[in-house]
Amino acid sequence: MYRREPPAATQEEIMSVALTPGTWNLDLAHTEIGFVVRHAGISKVRGQFTEADATLVIGSGLDSSAVRATINTASFDSNDNNRDAHVKGQDFFNVEQFPKMTFRSSGAEGSAEQFKLAGELTIKDTTLPVEFDVEFGGAAVDPFGATRAGFSATTVISRKQFGITWNAALEAGGVLVGDKVTINVDAAFVLSAN
């Protein structure tokens, strides 16, 4: 005899159950904080920050949820030691004086699956509003019993607005380093046991 399966839960139902209210901590081992910037007007340089910490507090909805993140600027890595040393120096991040950059959310709008996350980004001594486009990747319990959730987020900032203005003119015209920087974050969070 044919047995009818119960209807599958909708994506919205899965997410509302999976994203348990509480505090979620960044799992850096399964997170990438990347960037892309145009170089010499003809190519793109990619890299990442390898040291960061973040806390996600899930409330009853988007309007009662928040995220705070801190990135170690000295962890800048573009796969070129000379370039990395320059970017960590006074022309760019000046990591000795400004060892951290921070993000603090101020609100979110959209659906549970895709939403705009607004907040304040601080680089060096400048704090400006930014907005990330965020996609919720889902949640699952791993083989060790930890509840995990994944998110992808992207935004574009002007480095000049954050006081990072160094550049060099090109002989053919234009400049060496583009102003617009795309920030891409693929983040995993683990629900705190407390």
pLDDT band at 11 (very low <50, low <70, confident <90, very high): very low
Q: What is the H or E stretch that residue 189 is in?
A: strand 177-191
**Mean pLDDT rounded to a whole number for the chain:** 84
pLDDT band at 12 (very low <50, low <70, confident <90, very high): very low
Condensed to tens digits (0 to 9), the pLDDT of residues 78-97 reads 989 998 998 898 888 999 99
Tell the CATH superfamily of the 23-34+48-167+184-191 domain: Lipid/polyisoprenoid-binding, YceI-like (2.40.128.110)
Written as one string, the DSSP assignment of 45-105 is: EEEEE--EEEEEEE-SSGGG-EEEEEEEGGGEE-S-HHHHHHHHSTTTT-TTT--EEEEEE
Condensed to tens digits (0 to 9), the pLDDT of residues 19-36 reads 888 999 999 999 999 998
Q: Is 168 helix (H, G, I), strand (E, B) or coil?
A: coil
pLDDT band at 41 (very low <50, low <70, confident <90, very high): low
In this structure, of 13-17, 105-109, 124-128, the range with the lowest mean pLDDT score is 13-17
Q: What is the pLDDT of residue 7?
A: 44
Length of the chain as a residue count? 194
pTM equals 0.84
pLDDT band at 176 (very low <50, low <70, confident <90, very high): low
Separation CA 191–CA 194 (nearest Å):
9
> Residue 24's beta-bridge partner residues?
56, 191
Mean pLDDT, residues 136-154: 91
Q: What is the pLDDT of residue 63?
A: 82
Q: Would you say 81 and 98 are in contact if contact means Cβ atoms under 8 Å apart?
A: no
Tell me which of 4 and 61 has the higher pLDDT: 61
Mean pLDDT, residues 104-126: 94
pLDDT band at 37 (very low <50, low <70, confident <90, very high): confident
Question: What b/e readout covers 111-142, taking b as 16+ CB neighbours within 10 angstroms?
Answer: ebeebebebebbbbeeeeebbbebebeebeee
Q: What is the pLDDT of residue 43?
A: 65
Q: Would you say 42 and 180 are in contact if contact means Cβ atoms under 8 Å apart?
A: no
Tell me which of 145 and 187 has the higher pLDDT: 187
